[in-house]
Amino acid sequence: MISVKEAKNIILNTTQDFGVEEVPFIKSVGRILKEEIFADRDFPPFNRVSMDGICIDFNPFKNGQRTFKIEGIQAAGSEQIRLQNSENCMEVMTGAVLPENANTVIRYEDVTINNGIATINIDAINKSQNIHQKGKDGKVGDVLISENKIISAAEIGVLATVGKSMVKVAKQPKVMIISTGDELVGVDENPLAHQIRRSNVFTLVSLLESLKIASETAHLTDDKAILKQKIKTFIENYDVLLFSGAVSKGKFDFLPEVFEELGVEKLFHKVAQRPGKPFFYGKTANCNLFGFPGNPISTFVNCLAYFYPWYYKSVGLEIEEETAILTKDVNFKPNLEYFLQVKLSDKFGHTLATPITGNGSGDLASLVHADAFIHLPNDKTEFKTGENYPIIRYR
Amino acid sequence: MISVKEAKNIILNTTQDFGVEEVPFIKSVGRILKEEIFADRDFPPFNRVSMDGICIDFNPFKNGQRTFKIEGIQAAGSEQIRLQNSENCMEVMTGAVLPENANTVIRYEDVTINNGIATINIDAINKSQNIHQKGKDGKVGDVLISENKIISAAEIGVLATVGKSMVKVAKQPKVMIISTGDELVGVDENPLAHQIRRSNVFTLVSLLESLKIASETAHLTDDKAILKQKIKTFIENYDVLLFSGAVSKGKFDFLPEVFEELGVEKLFHKVAQRPGKPFFYGKTANCNLFGFPGNPISTFVNCLAYFYPWYYKSVGLEIEEETAILTKDVNFKPNLEYFLQVKLSDKFGHTLATPITGNGSGDLASLVHADAFIHLPNDKTEFKTGENYPIIRYR
């Protein structure tokens, strides 16, 4: 049995490269940028008026002039016009090009306008004020967004600004999510006394959806021949297979055997953790297989703890570890690393983790009351209030 | 000019009820649950075997018996069978119904099996161990998920388990996002020297997408008659209009006038904040109008600071305030509340906020380097390292 760290290292050393595709920029939120985004012009592209008001040449103002005849209006979206007489002014609108020969903008709030004459009512005026200088935020050719960044609304604005209507992003893996177990029936069905409804595949679909990965699902019965035939096809046609169930010691836990017969290289089976211990991980030349144990919380936490980091590294995304502070003492005796459900809250900028008492790895309902798992190491058995440990958020 | 708090109060007192709709559960992630979810049966629905191994009646074991003849196998998904002789055992698989007359499960790791006889190799066995008792996690009729909860992967698992293939969620508002400004051209176009590309509407589309709100966009030229005619139609056909630009003091900032002529009740215009001061908010009987200032960061922060809370309250979602700790001193003189871009990081469970120096409200590129806005009050001008203030995350 290996440690969580060893398991994670093996997983991170067997990532894939899914390649790159171009998508419309407005569809790219949540995807991983696979090109550098350059400024196509200076940013802003002209000396941009940043307040509605009037513009002047600062010299006459400095020499005491306070009334300026209005020559005209420079609207946003109009070609640059010219201040003909340096003792006059021009009305200017936010977003407009600063008129030629003007160098200072005074906002309407500080000006009185009567009969085409603007009178400046304050003395505290600085040359160049209220002008967003050409190139101040970036020069043509500057890198505005680096490769491998996850695209959010902020990046969407920049992509639009520089005219990147199509953008290169990491392709997503082709994923099949497979449930096994003859006790499972469909969500629409009425289970008999000894049956339960399928739920883990849908949890996995949702967890992948939050990575913007569309996935497919299948249910296979606990029949070795069928399992072998179907999984062979899946291996040939998908980048990743996620399994829920049939990896433990049960008589009908055929997956490890089937994997072996299909030539899957077993990289590990079992991690010294709770929940999620009987986790199987293997690969073929083109496909990675994650065999999650079938208990709902085992599947859930292993997807977060192993598939997520595998995906992040595959697409080039670096994720910083986050930690939280225990609000209650926790005792945990088994010599296993412990992923404990916690409810997160904030107090004075501290992230607090309050353990949620569940009833073991079958208790899916307890996940509803938590937000994250806190990862407690196996080198001690008592974890004290105020100590901090890594967390994995799921909301 | 009103304070951020006053503005927010006005906004939260003018929310809407968009109603309720039923959607397939697998499409409900990110939506707000509008019904209570009950356990349709006990949870687990039977005494569920939670380890692969054998089951026995505890009495003979207590009396010293260590070898048990195997009567058969109880597989997951099979109807409950019965242990005929209490001195025998049955093989049982994880997820199976516990056989009648058995009350204790011993995992395979602690058993040797030879010629149909199982020998238990340890003495530390507790009655009822490795059985997930019927009803332990919940009784039929228990509320598993409360109304008004946002649906995540955890809730999806529960919905599947109880057979809620269709689920009631808050309907989303019908939103039109409108840009104005004759300086704007399309993302695909090559702007002339005095033009820039449209970007704010796409930023807003993305910010709404992260709330699972699909929105439409329109661009209107700075022509009062056209604005009036189009906005009249939008008011009649949408729940919410989000505007970017044309709400300040410019000669072509027609929106406030147009709103008045269309009978929009002005609730406020201008908030004592930077960026985003000239924010207009109004409503008609059926439509709420958010007039965000046209600078990219103003539009961005006002959507987060005002539209988000308005939406959350409208759909019944309670959001807890989050705070972070400044890692640098900040000086800010104007008598305005300050929304400052910050990069967040975690250290020992503390959320640290490092200010990102931008070039004012036009500097969209600076948003790329930040994760959140920190909200600094206007009752002082010096904000010290180590102090903590509310934040609004956008990634």
- Cα distances (Å, whole numbers) of residue A195 to A31, A299, B41: 39, 19, 12
CA dist B89 and B72 (Å) reads 8
- Cα distances (Å, whole numbers) of residue B265 to A126, B99, B279: 39, 70, 14
Is the CB of A132 less than 8 angstroms away from the CB of B360?
A: yes
Is residue B225 domain-shared with residue B124, that is, in the same domain?
Answer: no
**Hey, is A291 helix, strand or coil?**
strand
Output Rg (C-alpha) for chain A, integer angstroms.
31
Cβ–Cβ < 8 Å for B359, A136: yes
> Nearest residue of B to residue A293 by CA position?
B94
Spans of chain A below 50 pLDDT: none
Query: How close B285 gets to chain A, by Cα (Å)?
Result: 31
Looking at residue B357, its pLDDT comes to 78
> Nearest residue of A to residue B163 by CA position?
A187
B155 touches A: beta carbon within 8 Å: yes
Is the CB of B76 less than 8 angstroms away from the CB of A161?
A: no
Residue type, A206: S
- Region of B161 (left: φ > 0; alpha: ψ -120 to 50; beta: rest) is alpha
CA dist B305 and B7 (Å) reads 10
Q: What is the CATH number of the domain that holds A122?
A: 2.170.190.11
Query: pLDDT tens across B328-369, in order?
Result: 999 999 999 999 999 999 999 999 999 997 666 557 778 999
- A63-94 b/e (C-beta count within 10 Å ≥ 16 → b): eeeeebeebebbbbbbeebebeebebbbbbbb
Query: pLDDT tens across A27-49, in order?
Result: 999 999 999 999 999 988 999 99
Is the CB of B160 less than 8 angstroms away from the CB of A191?
A: no
CA dist B372 and B391 (Å) reads 6
Cis peptide preceding B275, ω within 30 of 0: yes
User: What is the crossing angle of helices A153-161 and B200-209, to 10°?
Assistant: 160
Looking at residue A33, its pLDDT comes to 98
Is residue A182 domain-shared with residue A251, that is, in the same domain?
Answer: yes
Spans of chain B below 50 pLDDT: none
Q: Which strands make up the sheet holding B104-107, listed edge to edge?
A: B104-107, B53-56, B88-92, B67-74, B117-120, B111-114
- Region of B282 (left: φ > 0; alpha: ψ -120 to 50; beta: rest) is beta
Is the CB of A197 less than 8 angstroms away from the CB of B160?
A: yes
Contacts of B353 in chain A (CB under 8 A): 349
Is residue B190 domain-shared with residue B310, that is, in the same domain?
Answer: yes
Looking at residue B248, its pLDDT comes to 78
Is residue A311 domain-shared with residue A327, that is, in the same domain?
Answer: no
A38 touches B: beta carbon within 8 Å: no
H helices present in chain A, as ranges: 4-12, 58-62, 153-161, 200-209, 224-237, 255-261, 296-302, 308-315
Is the CB of A207 less than 8 angstroms away from the CB of B321?
A: no
Task: Quickly count: other Cβ atoms within 10 Å of residue B146's Cβ.
Answer: 12
Q: What is the CATH number of the domain that holds A269?
A: 3.40.980.10
Query: How close A16 gets to chain B, by Cα (Å)?
Result: 25
Please give the sequence-ordered ranges of beta strands (E in DSSP) within B102-160, or none if there are none. Answer: 104-107, 111-114, 117-120, 131-132, 143-145
Expressed in angstroms, the distance from the first to the final Cα of chain A is: 30
Task: Quickly count: other Cβ atoms within 10 Å of residue B47's Cβ.
Answer: 24
Cβ–Cβ < 8 Å for B391, B372: yes
CA dist A35 and A171 (Å) reads 13
A93 touches B: beta carbon within 8 Å: yes
Residue type, A87: E
Task: Quickly count: other Cβ atoms within 10 Å of residue B192's Cβ.
Answer: 12
Looking at residue B72, its pLDDT comes to 95
| Count of domains observed in chain A | 4
Write phi, then psi, for B212 (nearest 5 degrees): 65, 25
> Nearest residue of A to residue B358 by CA position?
A137
Is the CB of B248 less than 8 angstroms away from the CB of A153?
A: no
Could you tell me the two tokens for A290? 């994650």
Is residue A208 domain-shared with residue A264, that is, in the same domain?
Answer: yes
CA dist A186 and A201 (Å) reads 11
Could you tell me the two tokens for A359? 């009833």
Is residue B268 domain-shared with residue B188, that is, in the same domain?
Answer: yes
B116 touches A: beta carbon within 8 Å: no
A36 touches B: beta carbon within 8 Å: no
Counting one residue from A and one from B, how many pairs have CB atoms under 8 Å apart? 343
Is residue B231 domain-shared with residue B146, that is, in the same domain?
Answer: no
Query: How close A360 gets to chain B, by Cα (Å)?
Result: 9
User: What is the crossing angle of helices B153-161 and A200-209, to 10°?
Assistant: 160
Give contacts of A 309-328 with B, CB under 8 A: 320-325
Is residue A110 domain-shared with residue A234, that is, in the same domain?
Answer: no
**Residue A264 β-bridge partners:** none
**Hey, is A183 helix, strand or coil?**
coil
CA dist A22 and A171 (Å) reads 9
Cβ–Cβ < 8 Å for A291, A283: no
B214 touches A: beta carbon within 8 Å: no
- Indicate the burial class of B362 (C-beta count within 10 angstroms; 0-12, 13-18, 19 or more): buried
**Hey, is B320 helix, strand or coil?**
coil
Name the domain boundary from A170, A196, A216: A170
Name the domain boundary from A118, A149, A170: A170
> Nearest residue of A to residue B48 by CA position?
A194
Looking at residue B138, its pLDDT comes to 83
CA dist A152 and A8 (Å) reads 27
Q: What is the CATH number of the domain that holds A335?
A: 2.40.340.10
Task: Tell me how many degrees the CA angle B220-B223-B229 measures, rounded to the nearest 5.
Answer: 70
B224 touches A: beta carbon within 8 Å: no
Is residue A155 domain-shared with residue A240, that is, in the same domain?
Answer: no
Is residue B210 domain-shared with residue B274, that is, in the same domain?
Answer: yes
Contacts of B362 in chain A (CB under 8 A): 44, 48, 50, 132, 137
**Hey, is B167 helix, strand or coil?**
strand
DSSP secondary structure of A24-73: EGGG-TTSBB-S-EE-SS-BSSS-EE-SSEEEE-HHHHHTT--EEEEEEE
Q: What is the CATH number of the domain that holds A29?
A: 3.90.105.10
Is residue B311 domain-shared with residue B177, that is, in the same domain?
Answer: yes
Is the CB of B294 less than 8 angstroms away from the CB of A95?
A: yes
CB-CB: which of B75, B181, B349 is closest to A388? Answer: B349
Is the CB of B191 less than 8 angstroms away from the CB of A161?
A: no
Contacts of A162 in chain B (CB under 8 A): 197
Give contacts of B 164-193 with A, CB under 8 A: 164-165, 181-184, 187-193
Where do we find the tokens 């010293």? B64
Is residue B88 domain-shared with residue B230, that is, in the same domain?
Answer: no
Cβ–Cβ < 8 Å for B40, B144: no
Sign of CA dihedral B383, B386, B388, B392: positive
Query: How close A367 gets to chain B, by Cα (Å)?
Result: 6
- Cα distances (Å, whole numbers) of residue B58 to A306, B86, B133, B160, B282: 39, 9, 16, 35, 72
Q: Please state the ipTM of this predicted complex.
A: 0.93
Domain that holds residue A259: 4-18+172-315
**Hey, is A131 helix, strand or coil?**
strand
Name the domain boundary from A297, A315, A333: A315
Cβ–Cβ < 8 Å for B294, B245: yes
Is the CB of B137 less than 8 angstroms away from the CB of A359?
A: yes
A33: CB partners within 8 A, 6+ apart = A145, A146, A147, A148, A149, A150, A151, A155, A167, A168, A169
